A = this chain, B = another copy of it.
Amino acid sequence: MKRRREFAIDISDHVLAPSRKSNKKIIASIQYLSKLFIMPDTPDKFIEFGDALLVMIRDFFQEEGGIHSAISLPDLAGLFAETDPPTDPELITDVLYEIKEKIIRHSVKVGNPYYVGHMTSAIPYFMILIEMIIAALNQNQVKIETAKASTFVEREFLAWMHQLVFRRGTAFYRRTIQNPEIALGNVAVDGTLANLTALWVAREKAFPPRRSFGGVRKEGMAAALAHYGFSSAVVLVSGLAHYSLDKSMDVLGLGSRSLIRIPVNADNQIDCTKLRRKINTLQKKNAKIIAIVGIAGTTETGNIDDLKQLRDIADTCGAHYHVDAAWGGATLLTHRYRHLLDGIDRADSVTIDTHKLFYTPMSMGLVLFRDERDLMRVKYSASYVIRTSSVDQGRFTLEGSRKFDVLKPWASLKVLGTDGFQILFDHAFTLTADLNKIITASANFEVMNTPQLFIHVFRFVPRDLQDVLENLRAANDKTAATGKMQEINSLLNELNVELHRAIRAEDSTFVSRTTLKNTRYAPQPIVVLRSVTVNPLTTRAILEEIIAKQEKMGLSLYSRKYRKRFEKHMA
């Protein structure tokens, strides 16, 4: 396979950067079409267009300008309002031109270092190339007949992750890593499906086959409750749980009402005392506790529940113990930070997303099970695809056809190494601490949480009002003070919503926005800005610029529109 060559490509502008549609009419024929398919006589076209695209993508990343395109949503909608599917074939260059002008130009630059508002961040550029390999191989992970090496890559990666989470010892992994009789977990399309899979297994563990009863999978929820003599079946989790858990309860026929949300403490962690009390009440009502869910990195605030204590609580009621570490799971890659998730090795199942802190492109989740027999409970087979004796990964997954997504984190871990992740997280922790200092130092922001995993919530509060709020919180006449405080907070909510709109419109920086109920002003819902600082390209200087800009916008909005409305509260 050794060879050496030079090759020069003349990339004339219609290919390199198509500047107009050719509108060339194509006469389609099977000869023309089959040349578009992968075959020995199209390699040069493939490389020619590939090069053009590489340049186009590079240009996208080098482009100066806003984070979001300035186009309005109605105008953008107008670009994609052709109600009929295209009938005539078009040249690939023409379609690439259209993609460039209509789509790439109006995409969100989620990798921009000034975009610190969502968990979607920059990705290493080689990830883009790996996607090309995945598409070219086009393996279908559902069965070995369409996924040969890729089946084994998937199992290897799952073993790595299982070891990081559960640390079951080298002998265990030697025995299980490529043993098709054993499933350590699933690659899922995202964290939602990973959580859903975990609760699916938990449901089956709660209502397994017994005597004449075939198990809840076969017989359904109504029969399961009747057979086991329970009035209901519930899952308990903190009030900050991701909405995928509500959706999972709904889908599983348990009912979203059966997801019991327990209040959080001042650090946004589930209140274990209240949890124990609730379990007690539920058991008296003859409810079956299917699962307790801990969170390792809440979506809104990045906080981590007391994962050890939750294990003990789950044991008292015989519940499956799941940890949603979609956000925080990747910190297990590092020696320095894995202690933050202490106790996670005692969970029964764990969700991790790789498109978050593994810095791989959209989207891939993992669900891992400590007990290697758990996932077998939801095994399927079919004569035409996954025979019972098979080694097919599709036996356990909720999804059917599934691409070779796992190559991305597998390759990424090799290129970066766990040492590399340590450095990335060092940087993210430093950034988060820097941002904390910057917000605190700035006179016109109020910090609303103590960040654990890279997420800040804060809000714009003009300096004068901060004193007013402070005094009200210290006041003796609580009733009067609370009323006043609520009025001020309502107005501040309005102000922060409008500030967020202004930030979006100005478009050189981006933070997200949410509404929290568990702040020092509870139970009043408080509108907050939310930052996620994990992009390796973001620096302290950039954070200073972001906050300075947003503060300036806040102050301008305040003096133009809000100062007057606040006046009566300043007296």
**Counting CB contacts under 8 A, is A127 at the interface?**
yes
User: Cβ of A92 and Cβ of B415 under 8 Å apart?
Assistant: yes
- Interchain CA distance A61-B197 in the complex, whole Å: 37
User: Cβ of A10 and Cβ of B6 under 8 Å apart?
Assistant: yes
| Contact of A200 with B129 at beta-carbon distance under 8 Å, contacts A3-B17, A108-B148, A416-B36 already known | no
Q: List 20 A-B contacts (CB under 8 A).
A: A4-B12, A30-B423, A36-B125, A49-B129, A51-B51, A54-B132, A57-B132, A79-B149, A80-B149, A83-B177, A84-B160, A85-B160, A89-B420, A92-B415, A106-B148, A108-B147, A128-B136, A220-B254, A222-B225, A363-B399
**Counting CB contacts under 8 A, is A58 at the interface?**
yes
User: Cβ of B299 and Cβ of A384 under 8 Å apart?
Assistant: yes
Q: What are the interface flags for A91-118 relative to B under an 8 Å C-beta threshold, 1 for contact and 0 otherwise?
A: 1100100110011111110110000011
User: Cβ of A170 and Cβ of B419 under 8 Å apart?
Assistant: no
Q: Closest CB of chain B to A46's CB: distance in Å?
A: 5
Q: Which of A28-52 contact B (CB under 8 A)?
A: 28-30, 33-34, 36-40, 42-43, 45-47, 49-51
Q: Closest CB of chain B to A489's CB: distance in Å?
A: 16
- Interchain CA distance A8-B150 in the complex, whole Å: 34
User: Cβ of A401 and Cβ of B363 under 8 Å apart?
Assistant: yes
**Counting CB contacts under 8 A, is A333 at the interface?**
yes
Q: Which of B117, B153, B223, B381 contacts A255 (CB 8 A)?
A: B223
User: Cβ of B416 and Cβ of A178 under 8 Å apart?
Assistant: no
| Contact of A108 with B139 at beta-carbon distance under 8 Å, contacts A8-B8, A89-B416, A125-B46 already known | yes
**Counting CB contacts under 8 A, is A137 at the interface?**
yes
User: Cβ of A118 and Cβ of B145 under 8 Å apart?
Assistant: yes
**Counting CB contacts under 8 A, is A393 at the interface?**
no
Q: Closest CB of chain B to A63's CB: distance in Å?
A: 10
**Counting CB contacts under 8 A, is A174 at the interface?**
yes
- Interchain CA distance A36-B417 in the complex, whole Å: 13
Q: What are the interface flags for A413-438 relative to B under an 8 Å C-beta threshold, 1 for contact and 0 otherwise?
A: 11111111001101100000000000
User: How many identical chains are in the complex?
Assistant: 2
Query: In the complex, which of the residues A108, A123, A383 has the most CB atoms of chain B within 10 Å of its own CB atom?
Result: A108
Q: Which of B5, B363, B416, B420 contacts A140 (CB 8 A)?
A: B363
Q: Tell me the nearest residue of chain B to A107, going by C-beta.
A: B137
Q: Which of B5, B146, B214, B415 contacts A108 (CB 8 A)?
A: B146
Q: Closest CB of chain B to A144's CB: distance in Å?
A: 8
Q: Which of A523-542 contact B (CB under 8 A)?
A: 530, 535-537
A521 / chain B contacts, CB cutoff of 8 Å: none
A255 / chain B contacts, CB cutoff of 8 Å: 216-221, 223
Q: Closest CB of chain B to A472's CB: distance in Å?
A: 25
Q: Closest CB of chain B to A125's CB: distance in Å?
A: 5
User: Cβ of A399 and Cβ of B192 under 8 Å apart?
Assistant: yes
Q: Tell me the nearest residue of chain B to A131, going by C-beta.
A: B135
**Counting CB contacts under 8 A, is A486 at the interface?**
no
User: Cβ of A403 and Cβ of B55 under 8 Å apart?
Assistant: no
Given contact pairs A30-B423, A77-B152, enumerate 7 new A-B contacts (beta carbons under 8 Å). A60-B136, A60-B137, A69-B148, A84-B163, A88-B417, A103-B149, A384-B515
**Counting CB contacts under 8 A, is A257 at the interface?**
yes
A196 / chain B contacts, CB cutoff of 8 Å: 251
A515 / chain B contacts, CB cutoff of 8 Å: 383-384
**Counting CB contacts under 8 A, is A512 at the interface?**
yes
